[in-house]
Amino acid sequence: MDSKEFISFRKKLNKTQTQMAQLLGTSVKAIHSYEQGWRSVPVHAERQLLFLIARIKGDKESGKSCWTIKRCPPERKKKCPAWEFRAGDLCWFVNGTICEGVIHENWKEKMKMCRSCDVFSSMV
């Protein structure tokens, strides 16, 4: 997540920098640093910010889960944590999901794929 995206999401949440620091459990100075691009946004802060955006927006358009949208075959679906925990709208948030037949090793790699996915893009 770059500084412009961070600022955009903070504004979508209608939060000041101080309120954002409280939500993310960090300092106002850290928020300034993320927004100025002096520091990269840590994974835990990015995940929490995206989660908050998802809860505000929700999937009002389709109401469908990721396995329906992506037409996952039953054998893949049964192995996927998104299916196991009925988190079809939060598949991007759950590590270990089997998107496009691949389990990604880390959050950064997973988010590269998620950012081009219809499920994630409908949320942001």
Q: Would you state the pLDDT for residue 59?
A: 47
Q: Would you state the pLDDT for residue 37?
A: 94
Residues of the chain under the 50 pLDDT cut:
59, 61
Q: Would you state the pLDDT for residue 94?
A: 87
Q: Would you state the pLDDT for residue 63?
A: 64
Q: Would you state the pLDDT for residue 19?
A: 96
Length of the chain: 124
> Tens of pLDDT along 82-101?
999 988 888 888 888 888 88
Domains of the chain with bracketed CATH = 3-57 (1.10.260.40), 66-123 (no CATH)
Helices of type H across the chain: 3-12, 17-24, 28-36, 43-57, 66-69, 74-77, 81-84, 107-114, 118-123
pTM of the model as a whole? 0.77
